[in-house]
Structure 1
């Protein structure tokens, strides 16, 4: 009898979330697409793959991840912005795509605020300034000195134009008074392969992407871009500690939907995302990759986007960086 009760409870468990969704006024009646503007191998893809099955369980429908890499994430976000506002399509996008690209891309195919509605932020990531072990640089000061001696020759890789790694480089140039060269790749995974292959002098990459390489000695960590040291790299200083006062670059991802998506649908999707991000297994899986879950309300996400848009678009235009 106990075994039958247990099996019945397990069979009913996946139905609990859809019933709750219907009670809130909406439940998906078809698979939900979750678009991602970057290829596999980066922090964004890792986070999406972690939450995918748990979102599916809570929504009562499969959640299908589609990697649509290119244009700094714009291809995937444009596709989502133009999709039907019926809850069947979401897109994961980062600070670069939503807050920075409007200043870097001359003809943006969408407007981050007018065409999209925020559901929740997903994570914050710690970026790390790393160099290949064969490179001579052993401190941020070494990189700054080399860049001053040879302006516009030191190359750093990014996960795309306007990506968090690109923002880190822009901030370094601004505060250190140097000029380095950003080389965009089609995402964090390809960028990391290029770094390991010796194609770059340095890189700003998420902690989860570099930790194993730092431990193995193939990469050397010089600094982190947060205001406090990272738990995973306690001996590595912050950029501020290296002498660059005011240096901080946040690296976040969030999930958005088409602007016209009705409030009941946004509520169900947002609640599911926030609930998944609070699950202990998700918190642990994120931590292994150097990510911190960041469930937020729609308003909190919107405020973060507005603040970062003001800061970064002003810095980019003030520095005379030309839109492509």
Structure 2
């Protein structure tokens, strides 16, 4: 398998930054006074997770900019597919929008046997919002101090060790599968119903290894309940500057992360998309919001609609071979 993903992402994020700077100077015209009533932001996951936190912060700031309340509605089910499918079929008037993720717009469409929507054709991109690191953690009793030692242990005793994730087919599960593929190691995946139960079992020593979102694992790392070996992003996380990246710690070229982005229904008028994009960009530039995001290791990455569309295509291309090699399919 070819692993040119980081180079592709570097070019992509460079184009996002350039396009965003160019777009920042454009005058934005509302269509027919839009918006004239509240907007519903569907978050396709339960309250309390990183997507929900990002969504609520953005909704509050966008409400201030748009002059209408952006109301958050958590529509859970099928790994994010229920909420995403609702927006794919919603009226294209700008009053129903989606907080999409790598799960709704890359992984689920690649894994599902029956696809409720097309992640490209059935949505109008608005803006990329944030990138959130994942982290590789181990129980402190596992006799490894870094990624190189973990790889050596897994190669010395293939198939002996298990790793946990928040569920089958999640970005964290596939982070583990990409790690296995690139490192040439064998370990069994143990899926849980969410990060909480998985973390508890890894802390208790029931499972020795886990891939998790950095925000949810951070308190265990700080307390010593877990040993943070490496973050999965290209750059180190500002909240844990002493934890290296997997790429620099022994697996060059490795990179995964969770991202959040705004999408509207297909055929939403360009003027409405532009208005939403401008509000999202202004929200993400707010110093207070940036500080809040940093507190749970999220990095602000706003974009033009066009750049978000290219980002989705790149993510689909990145994850397709990983999903195929892992043999993951869901109903």
TM-score normalised by length of structure 2: 0.82
Distance 1:252 1:22, change over 3 A: same
RMSD: 2.5
- Cα distance in 2 between the residues matched to 1:179 and 1:51: 40
Query: Aligned partners of 2:70, 2:115: CA distance in 1, in Å?
Result: 28
Instruction: After superposition, give the CA deviation of every residue in 1:269-312 in whole Å (9 maximum; x if it has no partner).
Output: 11111110001111111011100111100011111111111121
Deviations 1:36-62 (A, max 9, x none): 122223221111121222122222222
What's 2:316 paired with? 309
Judged with a 3 Å threshold, the aligned counterparts in structure 2 of structure 1 residues 186 and 118 are, in CA distance, closer, same or farther, namely farther
User: C-alpha distance in 2, partners of 1:204/1:283?
Assistant: 25
Cα separation, partners in 2 of 1:190 and 1:282, compared to 1, 3 Å:
farther
| Aligned counterparts of 2:196 and 2:264: Cα–Cα separation in 1 | 25
1:227 and 2:239 aligned: no
Contact 1:37/1:70 (<8 A) preserved: yes
Partner of residue 130, structure 1:
137
User: Partners of 2:74 and 2:203 in 1: how far apart?
Assistant: 23
Cα gap change, 1:67/1:247 in structure 2, threshold over 3 Å: closer, same or farther?
Answer: same
How many residue pairs get aligned? The number is 303
| C-alpha deviation, 1:133, in angstroms | 4.0
Gaps of 5+ in 1: 1-19
Aligned to 2:89: 82
Q: Could you tell me whether the CA contact under 8 Å between 1:103 and 1:313 is conserved in 2?
A: yes
Structure 2 regions of 5+ residues with no counterpart? 1-26
- Which has the higher mean CA deviation after the structures are superposed, 145-154 or 116-125? 145-154
Matched, 1:55 2:50: no
TM-score, normalised by the number of residues in structure 1: 0.84
Mapping for residues 47-126 of structure 1, pairs under 5 Å: 47-126=54-133
Which has the larger Rg? 1
Q: Do the aligned residues in 2 keep the contact of 1:97 with 1:162 (CA within 8 Å)?
A: no
**3-state DSSP class of the match of 2:128?**
strand
Please say which of residues 282-291 and 174-183 is displaced more in the overlay: 174-183
* Correspondence for 1:323: 329
1:192-220 per-residue CA deviation (whole Å, 9 max, x = no partner) reads 55655656432222322222321122221
How far apart are the structure 1 equivalents of 2:41 and 2:200? 25
Say if 1:21 and 1:27, in contact at 8 Å, map to a contact too: no
* Residue equivalent to 1:4: none
Task: Tell me, in whole angstroms, the C-alpha distance in 2 between the residues paired with 1:262 and 1:176.
Answer: 46
The answer to whether the aligner puts 1:236 opposite 2:243 as a matched pair is yes
